[in-house]
Structure 1
Amino acid sequence: MMPSYFVAHGAPSLVIEQHEYTEFLKNLAANTPKPKAIVIFSAHWEQQVQTVSAVADTYRTIYDFGGFSDELYRMTYPAKGAPSISEQIQSLFAEHGIQSQLDGERGLDHGAWAILKLVYPDADIPVVALSVNRYLSNEQQYQIGAALAELREQDVLIIGSGGSVHNLRMVNWQGNGIDDWALAFDSWLQNKIELWDTEAMFNYRELAPYAKEAVPTSEHFIPLLIAMGTGDKTRQAKLLHRSYQLGNLSLSCWQF
Protein backbone atom coordinates (compact mmCIF):
# COMPACT_ATOMS: atom_id res chain seq x y z
CA MET A 1 0.00 0.00 0.00
CA MET A 2 1.20 3.48 -0.83
CA PRO A 3 2.11 5.50 2.27
CA SER A 4 0.56 8.88 2.89
CA TYR A 5 2.38 11.87 4.33
CA PHE A 6 1.94 15.04 6.29
CA VAL A 7 4.60 17.48 5.11
CA ALA A 8 5.33 20.90 6.63
CA HIS A 9 5.82 23.44 3.86
CA GLY A 10 7.45 26.19 5.95
CA ALA A 11 7.93 29.55 4.24
CA PRO A 12 7.65 29.92 0.45
CA SER A 13 11.44 30.25 0.33
CA LEU A 14 11.77 26.63 1.50
CA VAL A 15 12.03 25.56 -2.12
CA ILE A 16 15.32 27.44 -2.60
CA GLU A 17 16.77 26.84 0.87
CA GLN A 18 19.49 24.33 1.68
CA HIS A 19 19.37 22.61 5.06
CA GLU A 20 18.59 19.25 6.64
CA TYR A 21 14.87 19.44 5.95
CA THR A 22 15.18 20.32 2.27
CA GLU A 23 17.72 17.52 1.88
CA PHE A 24 15.26 15.16 3.56
CA LEU A 25 12.50 16.18 1.14
CA LYS A 26 14.77 15.80 -1.87
CA ASN A 27 15.41 12.20 -0.80
CA LEU A 28 11.84 11.34 0.14
CA ALA A 29 10.87 10.06 -3.31
CA ALA A 30 13.73 7.56 -3.24
CA ASN A 31 12.08 5.91 -0.23
CA THR A 32 8.55 5.97 -1.68
CA PRO A 33 7.11 3.80 -4.47
CA LYS A 34 6.53 5.96 -7.55
CA PRO A 35 2.87 6.99 -7.47
CA LYS A 36 0.61 7.09 -10.49
CA ALA A 37 -0.84 10.34 -9.12
CA ILE A 38 -0.49 12.70 -6.15
CA VAL A 39 -3.42 14.02 -4.13
CA ILE A 40 -2.40 17.02 -2.02
CA PHE A 41 -4.34 19.05 0.55
CA SER A 42 -2.89 22.55 0.90
CA ALA A 43 -3.36 24.85 3.87
CA HIS A 44 -3.32 27.73 1.40
CA TRP A 45 -6.50 26.71 -0.40
CA GLU A 46 -9.46 27.35 1.87
CA GLN A 47 -13.05 26.74 0.81
CA GLN A 48 -16.23 26.22 2.80
CA VAL A 49 -17.21 23.35 0.48
CA GLN A 50 -14.61 20.62 -0.03
CA THR A 51 -13.15 21.44 -3.43
CA VAL A 52 -11.26 19.09 -5.73
CA SER A 53 -9.15 20.37 -8.58
CA ALA A 54 -10.15 18.94 -11.95
CA VAL A 55 -7.52 20.55 -14.17
CA ALA A 56 -7.28 18.54 -17.37
CA ASP A 57 -4.12 20.09 -18.79
CA THR A 58 -1.14 21.79 -17.08
CA TYR A 59 -1.51 23.67 -13.81
CA ARG A 60 -0.53 27.30 -13.65
CA THR A 61 1.74 28.26 -10.77
CA ILE A 62 0.22 30.55 -8.14
CA TYR A 63 2.58 32.97 -6.36
CA ASP A 64 0.47 33.52 -3.25
CA PHE A 65 3.15 35.41 -1.33
CA GLY A 66 5.07 38.67 -1.46
CA GLY A 67 8.44 40.13 -0.60
CA PHE A 68 10.58 37.13 -1.47
CA SER A 69 13.49 36.60 -3.87
CA ASP A 70 12.80 37.16 -7.56
CA GLU A 71 13.95 33.59 -8.12
CA LEU A 72 10.76 32.30 -6.52
CA TYR A 73 8.54 34.21 -8.95
CA ARG A 74 10.31 32.65 -11.92
CA MET A 75 9.70 29.11 -10.70
CA THR A 76 6.99 26.95 -12.19
CA TYR A 77 5.67 23.49 -11.51
CA PRO A 78 4.00 22.37 -14.75
CA ALA A 79 2.32 19.22 -13.47
CA LYS A 80 -0.67 17.79 -15.27
CA GLY A 81 -4.03 17.22 -13.65
CA ALA A 82 -5.77 13.85 -13.30
CA PRO A 83 -9.48 14.43 -14.02
CA SER A 84 -10.44 10.77 -13.70
CA ILE A 85 -9.02 10.66 -10.18
CA SER A 86 -10.70 13.98 -9.37
CA GLU A 87 -14.03 12.41 -10.32
CA GLN A 88 -13.24 9.29 -8.29
CA ILE A 89 -12.46 11.47 -5.28
CA GLN A 90 -15.79 13.25 -5.64
CA SER A 91 -17.53 9.85 -5.79
CA LEU A 92 -15.73 8.66 -2.66
CA PHE A 93 -16.74 11.82 -0.84
CA ALA A 94 -20.36 11.32 -1.90
CA GLU A 95 -20.28 7.71 -0.61
CA HIS A 96 -19.16 9.05 2.78
CA GLY A 97 -21.69 11.87 2.91
CA ILE A 98 -19.12 14.61 2.27
CA GLN A 99 -20.28 17.43 0.03
CA SER A 100 -17.72 18.42 -2.61
CA GLN A 101 -17.31 20.34 -5.84
CA LEU A 102 -14.89 20.29 -8.76
CA ASP A 103 -12.72 23.22 -9.87
CA GLY A 104 -11.15 23.04 -13.33
CA GLU A 105 -9.35 26.39 -13.28
CA ARG A 106 -7.33 26.95 -10.10
CA GLY A 107 -3.55 26.49 -10.23
CA LEU A 108 -1.20 25.12 -7.59
CA ASP A 109 -0.45 27.42 -4.62
CA HIS A 110 2.90 27.37 -2.86
CA GLY A 111 1.61 25.00 -0.19
CA ALA A 112 1.44 22.44 -2.98
CA TRP A 113 4.05 23.28 -5.61
CA ALA A 114 6.94 24.24 -3.31
CA ILE A 115 6.79 20.83 -1.61
CA LEU A 116 6.26 18.91 -4.83
CA LYS A 117 9.14 20.70 -6.54
CA LEU A 118 11.49 19.44 -3.82
CA VAL A 119 10.16 15.88 -3.74
CA TYR A 120 9.29 15.37 -7.42
CA PRO A 121 11.21 18.10 -9.28
CA ASP A 122 10.44 16.75 -12.78
CA ALA A 123 6.69 17.45 -12.38
CA ASP A 124 6.04 14.20 -14.24
CA ILE A 125 3.35 12.82 -11.92
CA PRO A 126 -0.28 13.98 -12.29
CA VAL A 127 -1.59 16.03 -9.38
CA VAL A 128 -5.00 16.58 -7.81
CA ALA A 129 -5.13 19.50 -5.34
CA LEU A 130 -7.75 19.70 -2.59
CA SER A 131 -8.91 22.51 -0.34
CA VAL A 132 -9.29 22.65 3.44
CA ASN A 133 -12.16 24.02 5.52
CA ARG A 134 -11.34 25.41 8.96
CA TYR A 135 -15.02 25.46 9.95
CA LEU A 136 -15.38 21.68 10.16
CA SER A 137 -14.78 19.74 13.36
CA ASN A 138 -11.48 17.95 13.83
CA GLU A 139 -13.28 14.62 13.57
CA GLN A 140 -14.74 15.69 10.22
CA GLN A 141 -11.24 16.58 8.98
CA TYR A 142 -10.05 13.09 9.92
CA GLN A 143 -13.01 11.52 8.13
CA ILE A 144 -12.17 13.41 4.93
CA GLY A 145 -8.85 11.61 4.92
CA ALA A 146 -10.44 8.27 5.82
CA ALA A 147 -12.84 8.62 2.89
CA LEU A 148 -9.90 8.62 0.48
CA ALA A 149 -7.94 5.77 2.06
CA GLU A 150 -8.68 3.28 -0.72
CA LEU A 151 -6.79 5.47 -3.19
CA ARG A 152 -3.61 4.30 -1.45
CA GLU A 153 -4.34 0.79 -2.73
CA GLN A 154 -4.36 2.23 -6.27
CA ASP A 155 -0.82 3.67 -6.09
CA VAL A 156 -2.04 7.19 -5.33
CA LEU A 157 0.09 9.21 -2.92
CA ILE A 158 -1.87 11.42 -0.51
CA ILE A 159 -0.08 14.41 1.07
CA GLY A 160 -1.31 16.91 3.63
CA SER A 161 0.74 20.12 3.37
CA GLY A 162 0.71 22.49 6.35
CA GLY A 163 2.57 22.88 9.64
CA SER A 164 2.06 21.59 13.17
CA VAL A 165 3.56 24.71 14.80
CA HIS A 166 2.84 27.67 12.55
CA ASN A 167 2.55 31.06 14.23
CA LEU A 168 4.24 33.73 12.15
CA ARG A 169 3.61 36.35 14.85
CA MET A 170 5.81 34.45 17.28
CA VAL A 171 8.73 33.45 15.06
CA ASN A 172 12.17 34.40 16.35
CA TRP A 173 13.81 36.29 13.51
CA GLN A 174 17.17 35.94 15.27
CA GLY A 175 16.74 32.18 14.96
CA ASN A 176 18.57 31.32 18.15
CA GLY A 177 17.63 27.88 19.50
CA ILE A 178 14.22 26.25 19.67
CA ASP A 179 11.43 27.68 21.81
CA ASP A 180 10.38 25.41 24.68
CA TRP A 181 6.69 25.92 24.00
CA ALA A 182 7.01 24.69 20.41
CA LEU A 183 8.87 21.59 21.55
CA ALA A 184 6.28 20.92 24.25
CA PHE A 185 3.41 21.08 21.77
CA ASP A 186 5.14 18.90 19.17
CA SER A 187 6.19 16.36 21.80
CA TRP A 188 2.60 16.04 23.01
CA LEU A 189 1.50 15.69 19.41
CA GLN A 190 4.05 12.97 18.69
CA ASN A 191 2.88 10.95 21.66
CA LYS A 192 -0.80 11.14 20.71
CA ILE A 193 -0.21 10.37 17.04
CA GLU A 194 2.00 7.38 17.79
CA LEU A 195 -0.62 6.06 20.22
CA TRP A 196 -3.28 6.85 17.59
CA ASP A 197 -5.25 8.65 20.28
CA THR A 198 -7.87 10.23 18.07
CA GLU A 199 -9.91 11.53 21.01
CA ALA A 200 -6.92 13.56 22.18
CA MET A 201 -6.15 14.71 18.63
CA PHE A 202 -9.72 15.87 18.09
CA ASN A 203 -9.50 17.83 21.36
CA TYR A 204 -5.93 19.08 21.02
CA ARG A 205 -6.95 22.70 21.59
CA GLU A 206 -8.10 21.89 25.11
CA LEU A 207 -5.54 19.19 25.94
CA ALA A 208 -2.23 20.04 24.31
CA PRO A 209 0.26 22.41 25.99
CA TYR A 210 0.61 25.75 24.20
CA ALA A 211 -1.99 24.81 21.59
CA LYS A 212 -3.09 28.44 21.17
CA GLU A 213 0.48 29.53 20.52
CA ALA A 214 1.26 26.66 18.16
CA VAL A 215 -2.00 26.73 16.23
CA PRO A 216 -3.42 30.27 16.29
CA THR A 217 -5.57 29.40 13.27
CA SER A 218 -6.29 25.85 12.19
CA GLU A 219 -5.75 25.83 8.41
CA HIS A 220 -2.14 24.63 8.69
CA PHE A 221 -3.01 21.95 11.24
CA ILE A 222 -5.94 20.52 9.30
CA PRO A 223 -3.77 18.71 6.70
CA LEU A 224 -2.20 16.70 9.54
CA LEU A 225 -5.62 15.46 10.69
CA ILE A 226 -6.56 14.63 7.09
CA ALA A 227 -3.32 12.76 6.45
CA MET A 228 -3.77 10.84 9.71
CA GLY A 229 -7.29 9.93 8.63
CA THR A 230 -5.97 8.26 5.48
CA GLY A 231 -4.21 5.77 7.78
CA ASP A 232 -7.27 4.87 9.82
CA LYS A 233 -7.31 1.22 8.68
CA THR A 234 -3.77 0.40 9.79
CA ARG A 235 -3.30 3.09 12.46
CA GLN A 236 0.47 3.19 12.19
CA ALA A 237 2.40 6.45 12.24
CA LYS A 238 6.08 7.28 11.96
CA LEU A 239 7.79 10.63 12.45
CA LEU A 240 10.31 10.79 9.61
CA HIS A 241 11.74 14.24 10.29
CA ARG A 242 11.37 17.19 12.65
CA SER A 243 13.43 20.36 12.79
CA TYR A 244 12.69 24.04 13.32
CA GLN A 245 13.32 27.42 11.73
CA LEU A 246 13.16 30.83 13.36
CA GLY A 247 12.85 29.40 16.84
CA ASN A 248 9.50 27.66 16.48
CA LEU A 249 8.41 27.16 12.85
CA SER A 250 8.06 23.39 12.77
CA LEU A 251 9.39 21.49 9.75
CA SER A 252 8.10 17.96 10.17
CA CYS A 253 7.10 14.99 8.09
CA TRP A 254 4.82 12.19 9.27
CA GLN A 255 4.23 8.92 7.44
CA PHE A 256 0.92 7.06 7.82
Structure 2
Amino acid sequence: MLPSFFIAHGAPLLAIENNEYTQFLNQLGQTLPRPKAIILFSAHWESTMQKVSDVDTYDTIYDFGGFDPELYRIKYPAQGDQQISKEIKDLFTENGVTFEVETKRGLDHGAWVVLRLLYPNADIPVISMSVNQNLKPEEQYKIGKSLSALRANDILIIGSGGTVHNLRAVKWADNEVDQWALEFDDWLAHHLKNWDLDSLFKYDSLAPNAEYAVPRYGKEHFIPIFYALGAADDSRKAALLHRSFRYGNLSHSVWQFG
Protein backbone atom coordinates (compact mmCIF):
# COMPACT_ATOMS: atom_id res chain seq x y z
CA MET A 1 0.00 0.00 0.00
CA LEU A 2 1.35 3.40 -0.97
CA PRO A 3 1.60 6.09 1.72
CA SER A 4 0.09 9.53 1.31
CA PHE A 5 2.24 12.65 1.39
CA PHE A 6 2.18 16.31 2.28
CA ILE A 7 4.73 18.09 0.09
CA ALA A 8 5.61 21.77 0.20
CA HIS A 9 5.73 23.41 -3.22
CA GLY A 10 7.61 26.50 -2.03
CA ALA A 11 8.11 29.40 -4.44
CA PRO A 12 7.66 28.82 -8.21
CA LEU A 13 11.44 29.13 -8.69
CA LEU A 14 11.79 25.61 -7.30
CA ALA A 15 10.83 24.41 -10.76
CA ILE A 16 14.17 25.58 -12.19
CA GLU A 17 16.42 25.42 -9.12
CA ASN A 18 18.92 22.76 -8.16
CA ASN A 19 19.19 22.66 -4.38
CA GLU A 20 18.87 20.38 -1.38
CA TYR A 21 15.09 20.27 -1.60
CA THR A 22 14.71 19.76 -5.34
CA GLN A 23 17.31 17.00 -5.20
CA PHE A 24 15.37 15.32 -2.40
CA LEU A 25 12.12 15.38 -4.40
CA ASN A 26 13.91 14.03 -7.49
CA GLN A 27 15.24 11.15 -5.41
CA LEU A 28 11.89 10.51 -3.73
CA GLY A 29 10.20 10.06 -7.10
CA GLN A 30 12.87 7.53 -8.08
CA THR A 31 12.63 5.49 -4.89
CA LEU A 32 8.86 5.27 -4.45
CA PRO A 33 7.03 2.37 -6.09
CA ARG A 34 5.65 3.67 -9.36
CA PRO A 35 2.03 4.71 -8.75
CA LYS A 36 -0.86 3.81 -11.04
CA ALA A 37 -2.12 7.39 -10.72
CA ILE A 38 -1.72 10.47 -8.52
CA ILE A 39 -4.46 12.34 -6.67
CA LEU A 40 -3.24 15.81 -5.72
CA PHE A 41 -4.93 18.41 -3.50
CA SER A 42 -3.40 21.79 -4.35
CA ALA A 43 -3.35 24.91 -2.18
CA HIS A 44 -3.73 26.92 -5.38
CA TRP A 45 -7.09 25.45 -6.29
CA GLU A 46 -9.64 26.78 -3.84
CA SER A 47 -13.33 26.06 -4.09
CA THR A 48 -16.25 26.13 -1.67
CA MET A 49 -17.42 22.87 -3.27
CA GLN A 50 -15.04 19.92 -3.54
CA LYS A 51 -13.87 19.67 -7.15
CA VAL A 52 -12.74 16.48 -8.86
CA SER A 53 -10.96 16.85 -12.19
CA ASP A 54 -11.90 14.70 -15.15
CA VAL A 55 -9.51 15.99 -17.81
CA ASP A 56 -7.96 14.21 -20.79
CA THR A 57 -4.74 16.26 -20.95
CA TYR A 58 -3.95 19.12 -18.58
CA ASP A 59 -2.85 22.57 -19.64
CA THR A 60 -0.09 24.17 -17.56
CA ILE A 61 -1.29 27.14 -15.51
CA TYR A 62 1.18 29.94 -14.70
CA ASP A 63 -0.59 31.36 -11.65
CA PHE A 64 2.23 33.74 -10.67
CA GLY A 65 3.91 36.84 -12.03
CA GLY A 66 7.27 38.58 -12.19
CA PHE A 67 9.48 35.48 -12.25
CA ASP A 68 12.18 34.21 -14.60
CA PRO A 69 10.81 33.87 -18.17
CA GLU A 70 12.08 30.28 -18.19
CA LEU A 71 9.26 29.34 -15.82
CA TYR A 72 6.63 30.33 -18.38
CA ARG A 73 8.10 27.97 -20.97
CA ILE A 74 7.68 24.89 -18.78
CA LYS A 75 4.97 22.46 -19.81
CA TYR A 76 3.68 19.54 -17.78
CA PRO A 77 1.14 17.80 -20.05
CA ALA A 78 -0.06 15.15 -17.62
CA GLN A 79 -2.99 12.96 -18.58
CA GLY A 80 -6.09 12.39 -16.52
CA ASP A 81 -7.77 9.04 -15.87
CA GLN A 82 -11.53 8.74 -16.22
CA GLN A 83 -11.69 5.47 -14.31
CA ILE A 84 -9.86 6.86 -11.28
CA SER A 85 -12.02 9.99 -11.39
CA LYS A 86 -15.08 7.73 -11.32
CA GLU A 87 -13.71 5.77 -8.35
CA ILE A 88 -13.18 9.05 -6.47
CA LYS A 89 -16.72 10.19 -7.26
CA ASP A 90 -18.13 6.85 -6.11
CA LEU A 91 -16.20 7.01 -2.83
CA PHE A 92 -17.31 10.59 -2.20
CA THR A 93 -20.91 9.58 -2.82
CA GLU A 94 -20.61 6.62 -0.44
CA ASN A 95 -19.08 8.83 2.26
CA GLY A 96 -21.44 11.78 1.93
CA VAL A 97 -18.91 14.19 0.42
CA THR A 98 -20.59 16.61 -1.96
CA PHE A 99 -18.57 17.41 -5.07
CA GLU A 100 -18.56 18.79 -8.59
CA VAL A 101 -16.66 17.55 -11.63
CA GLU A 102 -14.22 19.91 -13.39
CA THR A 103 -13.44 19.05 -17.02
CA LYS A 104 -11.31 21.99 -18.21
CA ARG A 105 -9.00 23.34 -15.52
CA GLY A 106 -5.26 22.77 -15.99
CA LEU A 107 -2.61 22.12 -13.36
CA ASP A 108 -1.59 25.13 -11.23
CA HIS A 109 1.96 25.54 -9.99
CA GLY A 110 1.08 24.00 -6.63
CA ALA A 111 0.54 20.82 -8.61
CA TRP A 112 2.97 20.85 -11.53
CA VAL A 113 6.04 22.10 -9.63
CA VAL A 114 5.79 19.15 -7.23
CA LEU A 115 4.79 16.62 -9.89
CA ARG A 116 7.56 17.68 -12.28
CA LEU A 117 10.20 17.26 -9.56
CA LEU A 118 8.87 13.82 -8.63
CA TYR A 119 8.00 12.55 -12.11
CA PRO A 120 9.58 14.80 -14.76
CA ASN A 121 8.27 12.80 -17.73
CA ALA A 122 4.59 13.60 -16.95
CA ASP A 123 3.82 9.95 -17.68
CA ILE A 124 1.62 9.13 -14.67
CA PRO A 125 -2.10 10.00 -14.74
CA VAL A 126 -3.15 12.82 -12.40
CA ILE A 127 -6.46 13.65 -10.77
CA SER A 128 -6.37 17.24 -9.55
CA MET A 129 -8.44 18.18 -6.49
CA SER A 130 -9.47 21.46 -4.89
CA VAL A 131 -9.25 22.48 -1.24
CA ASN A 132 -11.64 24.50 0.89
CA GLN A 133 -10.23 26.62 3.72
CA ASN A 134 -13.76 27.36 4.97
CA LEU A 135 -14.18 23.77 6.14
CA LYS A 136 -13.14 22.68 9.60
CA PRO A 137 -9.95 20.57 9.74
CA GLU A 138 -12.10 17.60 10.74
CA GLU A 139 -14.06 17.94 7.51
CA GLN A 140 -10.91 18.23 5.40
CA TYR A 141 -9.57 15.13 7.12
CA LYS A 142 -12.83 13.29 6.37
CA ILE A 143 -12.49 14.05 2.66
CA GLY A 144 -9.00 12.56 2.63
CA LYS A 145 -10.14 9.59 4.70
CA SER A 146 -12.88 8.78 2.21
CA LEU A 147 -10.15 8.12 -0.38
CA SER A 148 -7.87 6.01 1.81
CA ALA A 149 -8.87 2.72 0.17
CA LEU A 150 -7.36 3.90 -3.12
CA ARG A 151 -3.85 3.68 -1.64
CA ALA A 152 -4.18 -0.12 -1.72
CA ASN A 153 -4.63 0.16 -5.51
CA ASP A 154 -1.23 1.84 -6.00
CA ILE A 155 -2.69 5.33 -6.15
CA LEU A 156 -0.55 8.06 -4.64
CA ILE A 157 -2.36 10.80 -2.68
CA ILE A 158 -0.56 14.12 -2.19
CA GLY A 159 -1.45 17.35 -0.42
CA SER A 160 0.61 20.25 -1.81
CA GLY A 161 1.06 23.43 0.20
CA GLY A 162 3.33 24.59 3.01
CA THR A 163 3.32 24.20 6.79
CA VAL A 164 4.74 27.71 7.30
CA HIS A 165 3.64 30.03 4.51
CA ASN A 166 3.34 33.74 5.26
CA LEU A 167 4.36 35.77 2.24
CA ARG A 168 4.19 39.01 4.22
CA ALA A 169 6.94 37.69 6.51
CA VAL A 170 9.37 36.15 4.01
CA LYS A 171 12.80 37.68 3.48
CA TRP A 172 13.69 37.17 -0.15
CA ALA A 173 17.38 36.89 0.68
CA ASP A 174 18.05 33.64 2.51
CA ASN A 175 18.55 34.25 6.22
CA GLU A 176 18.69 32.28 9.42
CA VAL A 177 15.39 30.59 10.13
CA ASP A 178 13.03 32.70 12.22
CA GLN A 179 12.45 31.27 15.68
CA TRP A 180 8.68 31.65 15.44
CA ALA A 181 8.62 29.45 12.33
CA LEU A 182 10.71 26.75 13.99
CA GLU A 183 8.53 26.75 17.10
CA PHE A 184 5.35 26.29 15.08
CA ASP A 185 6.83 23.60 12.87
CA ASP A 186 8.27 21.73 15.87
CA TRP A 187 4.86 21.76 17.56
CA LEU A 188 3.26 20.46 14.39
CA ALA A 189 5.86 17.69 14.02
CA HIS A 190 5.31 16.50 17.58
CA HIS A 191 1.55 16.21 17.20
CA LEU A 192 1.70 14.69 13.72
CA LYS A 193 4.08 11.96 14.89
CA ASN A 194 1.68 11.18 17.73
CA TRP A 195 -1.35 11.40 15.41
CA ASP A 196 -2.88 13.75 17.96
CA LEU A 197 -5.93 14.79 15.99
CA ASP A 198 -7.54 16.62 18.91
CA SER A 199 -4.62 19.03 19.05
CA LEU A 200 -4.01 19.19 15.31
CA PHE A 201 -7.60 20.15 14.60
CA LYS A 202 -7.17 23.04 17.06
CA TYR A 203 -3.76 24.12 15.77
CA ASP A 204 -4.91 27.73 15.33
CA SER A 205 -5.48 28.14 19.08
CA LEU A 206 -2.91 25.67 20.46
CA ALA A 207 0.19 25.92 18.29
CA PRO A 208 2.76 28.60 19.12
CA ASN A 209 2.88 31.41 16.57
CA ALA A 210 0.04 29.92 14.54
CA GLU A 211 -1.14 33.40 13.57
CA TYR A 212 2.20 33.99 11.81
CA ALA A 213 2.79 30.52 10.36
CA VAL A 214 -0.78 30.12 9.12
CA PRO A 215 -2.19 33.63 8.72
CA ARG A 216 -5.95 33.86 8.51
CA TYR A 217 -5.74 35.21 4.97
CA GLY A 218 -3.57 32.27 3.87
CA LYS A 219 -4.81 29.04 5.41
CA GLU A 220 -5.06 27.43 1.98
CA HIS A 221 -1.39 26.42 2.04
CA PHE A 222 -1.63 24.67 5.39
CA ILE A 223 -4.88 22.75 5.01
CA PRO A 224 -3.74 20.25 2.33
CA ILE A 225 -1.97 18.49 5.19
CA PHE A 226 -5.35 17.44 6.62
CA TYR A 227 -6.47 15.90 3.33
CA ALA A 228 -3.21 13.92 3.11
CA LEU A 229 -3.39 12.97 6.78
CA GLY A 230 -6.94 11.69 6.46
CA ALA A 231 -5.94 9.54 3.50
CA ALA A 232 -3.78 7.49 5.89
CA ASP A 233 -6.31 7.22 8.72
CA ASP A 234 -6.26 3.43 8.39
CA SER A 235 -2.60 3.21 9.45
CA ARG A 236 -1.95 6.42 11.43
CA LYS A 237 1.81 6.64 11.02
CA ALA A 238 3.62 9.89 10.30
CA ALA A 239 7.26 10.45 9.36
CA LEU A 240 9.04 13.69 8.52
CA LEU A 241 11.22 12.86 5.51
CA HIS A 242 12.62 16.32 4.84
CA ARG A 243 12.53 19.77 6.37
CA SER A 244 14.34 22.90 5.32
CA PHE A 245 13.49 26.59 5.10
CA ARG A 246 13.99 29.34 2.55
CA TYR A 247 13.70 33.11 2.83
CA GLY A 248 13.81 33.09 6.64
CA ASN A 249 10.61 31.14 7.28
CA LEU A 250 9.12 29.51 4.14
CA SER A 251 9.03 25.82 4.96
CA HIS A 252 9.98 22.98 2.66
CA SER A 253 8.53 19.95 4.41
CA VAL A 254 7.78 16.47 3.17
CA TRP A 255 5.59 14.35 5.44
CA GLN A 256 4.85 10.70 4.77
CA PHE A 257 1.63 9.25 6.22
CA GLY A 258 0.95 5.55 6.38
* Structure-2 residue corresponding to 1:33: 33
Equivalent residues in 2 for 1:204-223, closer than 5 Å: 204-216=203-215, 217-223=218-224
Q: Does 1:225 align with 2:226?
A: yes
Q: Distance in 2 between matches of 1:215 and 1:85?
A: 32
Q: Does 1:15 align with 2:15?
A: yes
* Structure-1 residue corresponding to 2:45: 45
Deviation at 1:173, TM superposition (A): 2.3
Deviation at 1:174, TM superposition (A): 2.9
C-alpha contact 2:30 2:118 (8 A) present in aligned 1: no
Deviations 1:18-66 (A, max 9, x none): 11101000101122110010000000000110000000x2110000000
What amino acid is the match of 1:139?
E
Q: For residue 253 of structure 1, give the secondary structure of its aligned residue in structure 2.
A: strand
Q: For residue 30 of structure 1, give the secondary structure of its aligned residue in structure 2.
A: helix
Deviating 4+ runs (over 4 angstroms): none
User: Which segments of 5 or more consecutive residues in structure 1 lack a partner in the other structure?
Assistant: none
C-alpha contact 1:8 1:251 (8 A) present in aligned 2: yes
Q: Distance in 2 between matches of 1:18 and 1:249?
A: 17
Q: For residue 134 of structure 1, give the secondary structure of its aligned residue in structure 2.
A: coil
Equivalent residues in 2 for 1:70-149, closer than 5 Å: 70-149=69-148
Q: Distance in 1 between matches of 2:172 and 2:137?
A: 31
TM-score, with length taken from structure 2? 0.98
TM-score, with length taken from structure 1? 0.98
Q: For residue 164 of structure 2, give the secondary structure of its aligned residue in structure 1.
A: coil
Deviations 1:152-204 (A, max 9, x none): 00000000000000000001223221000000000000000000000000000
Q: For residue 48 of structure 1, give the secondary structure of its aligned residue in structure 2.
A: coil
Q: Does 1:248 align with 2:233?
A: no
Q: Distance in 2 between matches of 1:176 and 1:162?
A: 21
Q: For residue 52 of structure 2, give the secondary structure of its aligned residue in structure 1.
A: strand
C-alpha contact 1:3 1:32 (8 A) present in aligned 2: no
Count of residue correspondences: 255
* Structure-1 residue corresponding to 2:175: 176
Between 1:141-150 and 1:173-182, the stretch displaced more is 173-182
What amino acid is the match of 1:168?
L
What amino acid is the match of 2:245?
Y
Between 1:196-205 and 1:87-96, the stretch displaced more is 87-96
Q: For residue 78 of structure 2, give the secondary structure of its aligned residue in structure 1.
A: coil
